[in-house]
Structure 1
């Protein structure tokens, strides 16, 4: 970073200056520049940032650089990279030497990932950082406000800049042109994880040719290589590199000199490129809706991601669409380039309502590769494991609702008796939290069933059904204990218990 002359000329070289948070194999936390993060990737355990959004955006940025440097155009080219065990530092150095000026965060004419817009005034950085309250995101994650402002150092600003381009949300901009969603704003970004950052990046480095993972034009390249990424007001990416570095915002960071070094308190912000509809993100899973077509799978505050595992494993289905890296792994295993086994996956994203962020989430899921090559196994997981669990949950909810009915109206089963309002029954049943208790206790048993189903289907399903039955009863009994403290409500607990017993007998086969 440098200050020259009377007027400040700041420079922050993202290639060499540390700004990407990493963990070494021994657990030591360090920050590295782009060059060292890639050249030392085989010595790093993982990389990440302040939030799941920053972590996802950093991986996508590194993958764009790797695709530009190494392709790979086919299985053999990918396998050569895998066998090397590290990224060629000579190739990285050659690329960064060619484009060094474009990786300067404060370059006077082409600052990295930024563009000015003379129509807008300076503003605070709060809307750059999803974790900090801004506008109608009122103090959800932080006590900063638009009035209070925010100060970032260059490494922080660089990380949030990359995340803002990927995860920006649609909304009003104060200009005739509205803000539109960034490429990652809706849905869940999946990364297959390896034992090192090198393995993680390579497991997500897909075949890159004219048709994969997106249709490619000859001029496909990352945004920083383009003379003007915004030229032509385009909405269709030229290919995967263009897509990974799509500049959804015109952001310009405004550095200031202080006694403690360069800081950023203000920026200009305006709408950038609008991404056309119907372009599937290769890192996202999708589910087909009869009316709205293919929709990205999204985080749900009340639903753990493992409950949608069958969707994630659907490679060739009209109803679902797995992340492209899963299909790529299946191909590599099928061609003998990778052994069978289980990989870990990282799911990153946020839930939002309009332009309001509701929560962020990181989840880890196991990916037994055998599922990617066996559709019958996926069907069994969907129907016999997850489907049966959902059926039991419905019976549990029905029993809780029956118990709530008789709490409000002990004579509800009598002819012409008064029936409580449905909203009152639902409210009381929800307050007992039987579904929440049920599902929260199934995640670990599910992970075991996921691994064991390919080995012994019959034994696994028997064990799983026993677990479901036991867990449903435990959840119901916890709620019934509250009810049974009132002698007048004993009938409610008995009726709920009878209904659950009948419901479980209907959806679960008889157990010895």
Structure 2
């Protein structure tokens, strides 16, 4: 696609003033605001009202980078006690306003010498001078090239123009969540964005101001050692073709130009829009296992820590223990943002309230979007700050997993018994596949999730006996809800009725056992062969 168009001499759409961030106010109003207003109204804004999970997380990370740089320049080595003051009394508006005005010229989105979070060198580079792509190139949920999305049959040549506000939000989300893979401009392939295949975790307050303070990362040892993209010189082509580099800190990660983009403004009756852009490899991020992303959590895996993501439909709450800082072990790492929130509440001495946690992101497979999701979990403050409380939560979640595995093996044995040659490994494998691709797993855990709030509330209040009793009742109800799904897979043959009759006592034994401590040693765990 050739449509040479030099960069406009005059910049347009300054993100400080133009309304581009959708927000929801405490009185129920919704509106769009610019960066100056979003900070000025942060105490009255309840939440960012962005429907796209990647853009939702990216906007928060942008605001965190701005706030962090503003207070660092104003106060130097601030600490958690300063955060407690900002949490209770409001953000230091004067510091934020001064910072935004200081960097105003670097927040123009369209045109100018250095458009925001973009690479002006693309307008002169031979590889991109006359080569444009549709804006859907940076829209993770839209069809583009050979990555079609269900229900989106738009062609690259017919992409409609979008507003500058939409382009800004889309670009931010893409830069954070873009998967690694082929780029073919400046280099054949490029590394993934900071949050690719990640369920990003962020504590949430009852206002945007408190949300930002909860996740605000600590002041660096050297004030200017970690700077966001707009404080740095725009990348050159030589830098885009260079080696991957680790981040200098959260501000760098939150604004990393993981791909090089240059939006092409297009005048429309209602103002400037974007239909096309220049595109290429970016400043590749080299991951450091010792400095993971502050919003990423890792659960224990058989061969080491496994980054939490929205994989295979697994409910996030099953890995809730990985969110609790006090349970950190060699094979699990909670998100640093949650630990920072726990430190703040500990300084404030607030042990009675819950900390809502927003978990949002997407999972991709070879540059193709598989799913994206937003979840909310309320964690008791005591569970974040006290090891004994966190251990109670982890134990009860383990009870759920152990009980489900016992129920699952019983159901597999029942299905295998109804099939020809029921004793063979192939038959059992077939029975396992039938069960695991059915609605049985989702039904059980969906029913169990309904009691999660009661469990966390009781644990947070220190009533472990009530927590256990309520959770026991929840798991029994989940089993009673899911078991008919497994029975329905049998059919109505004589073999099916016989298999159901043989499995029923084992099902009743599983229900009775949930009231007691379930075995958690390898010697006491029945094998699938024994269950058969």
Q: Normalising to structure 2: TM-score of the pair?
A: 0.86
Name the CA distance, whole Å, in 2 between partners of 1:261 and 1:398. Answer: 62
Is 2:470 the counterpart of 1:463? Answer: yes
Deviation at 1:386, TM superposition (A): 1.1
Is 2:292 the counterpart of 1:280? Answer: yes
Is 2:408 the counterpart of 1:407? Answer: no
Q: 2:448 aligns with which of 442, 451, 458?
A: 442
Q: Does the Cα contact within 8 Å between 1:217 and 1:238 map onto a contact in 2?
A: no
Is 2:110 the counterpart of 1:106? Answer: yes
Using a 3 Å threshold, how does the CA distance of structure 1 residues 488 and 81 change in structure 2: closer, same or farther?
closer
Is 2:206 the counterpart of 1:195? Answer: yes
Is 2:425 the counterpart of 1:424? Answer: no
What does 1:275-354 align with in structure 2 at a 5 Å threshold? 275-278=285-288, 279-289=291-301, 291=303, 293-315=304-326, 316-336=328-348, 338-354=350-366
Q: Does the Cα contact within 8 Å between 2:214 and 2:344 map onto a contact in 1?
A: no
Specify the alignment match of 1:81 in structure 2.
86
Deviation at 1:192, TM superposition (A): 1.0
Is 2:165 the counterpart of 1:155? Answer: yes
Specify the alignment match of 1:134 in structure 2.
144
Specify the alignment match of 1:213 in structure 2.
none
Specify the alignment match of 1:184 in structure 2.
195
Specify the alignment match of 2:49 in structure 1.
48
Runs of 4 or more above 3 Å deviation: 7-10, 216-219, 228-234, 288-291, 336-340, 481-488, 502-508
Deviation at 1:460, TM superposition (A): 2.1
Q: How many residues align?
A: 492
Q: 1:392 aligns with which of 403, 414, 430?
A: 403
Q: Does the Cα contact within 8 Å between 1:24 and 1:45 map onto a contact in 2?
A: yes
Gaps of 5+ in 1: 1-6, 211-215
Name the CA distance, whole Å, in 2 between partners of 1:431 and 1:319. Answer: 29
Using a 3 Å threshold, how does the CA distance of structure 1 residues 509 and 112 change in structure 2: closer, same or farther?
same
Q: Does the Cα contact within 8 Å between 1:391 and 1:507 map onto a contact in 2?
A: no
Name the CA distance, whole Å, in 2 between partners of 1:75 and 1:37. Answer: 23
Specify the alignment match of 1:227 in structure 2.
233
Deviation at 1:333, TM superposition (A): 3.0
* SS of corresponding position for 2:364: strand
Specify the alignment match of 1:365 in structure 2.
377
Using a 3 Å threshold, how does the CA distance of structure 1 residues 202 and 259 change in structure 2: closer, same or farther?
same
Q: Does the Cα contact within 8 Å between 1:165 and 1:247 map onto a contact in 2?
A: yes
Deviation at 1:9, TM superposition (A): 4.8
* SS of corresponding position for 2:277: strand
Using a 3 Å threshold, how does the CA distance of structure 1 residues 45 and 470 change in structure 2: closer, same or farther?
closer
Is 2:218 the counterpart of 1:207? Answer: yes
Is 431-440 or 243-252 further displaced after alignment? Answer: 431-440
What does 1:232-243 align with in structure 2 at a 5 Å threshold? 233=242, 235-243=245-253
Is 365-374 or 76-85 further displaced after alignment? Answer: 76-85
Specify the alignment match of 1:28 in structure 2.
29
* SS of corresponding position for 2:220: coil
Name the CA distance, whole Å, in 2 between partners of 1:464 and 1:140. Answer: 39
Deviation by residue 1:219-268 (Cα, 9 ceiling, x = unmatched) = 43211111235685461223332222111111000011233432211101
Name the CA distance, whole Å, in 1 between partners of 2:141 and 2:68. Answer: 30
Name the CA distance, whole Å, in 2 between partners of 1:95 and 1:281. Answer: 25
Using a 3 Å threshold, how does the CA distance of structure 1 residues 122 and 478 change in structure 2: closer, same or farther?
closer
What does 1:245-264 align with in structure 2 at a 5 Å threshold? 245-264=255-274
Gaps of 5+ in 2: 1-7, 519-532
Name the CA distance, whole Å, in 1 between partners of 2:334 and 2:108. Answer: 36
Name the CA distance, whole Å, in 1 between partners of 2:470 and 2:272. Answer: 60
Using a 3 Å threshold, how does the CA distance of structure 1 residues 191 and 431 change in structure 2: closer, same or farther?
closer
Deviation by residue 1:183-207 (Cα, 9 ceiling, x = unmatched) = 1113221111111111111111132
Name the CA distance, whole Å, in 2 between partners of 1:434 and 1:76. Answer: 49
Using a 3 Å threshold, how does the CA distance of structure 1 residues 459 and 96 change in structure 2: closer, same or farther?
closer
Name the CA distance, whole Å, in 2 between partners of 1:460 and 1:50. Answer: 34
Specify the alignment match of 1:4 in structure 2.
none
* SS of corresponding position for 1:16: coil
Name the CA distance, whole Å, in 2 between partners of 1:186 and 1:467. Answer: 31
Q: Does the Cα contact within 8 Å between 1:220 and 1:241 map onto a contact in 2?
A: yes
Name the CA distance, whole Å, in 2 between partners of 1:39 and 1:492. Answer: 66
Deviation at 1:509, TM superposition (A): 1.9
Q: CA RMSD in A?
A: 2.5
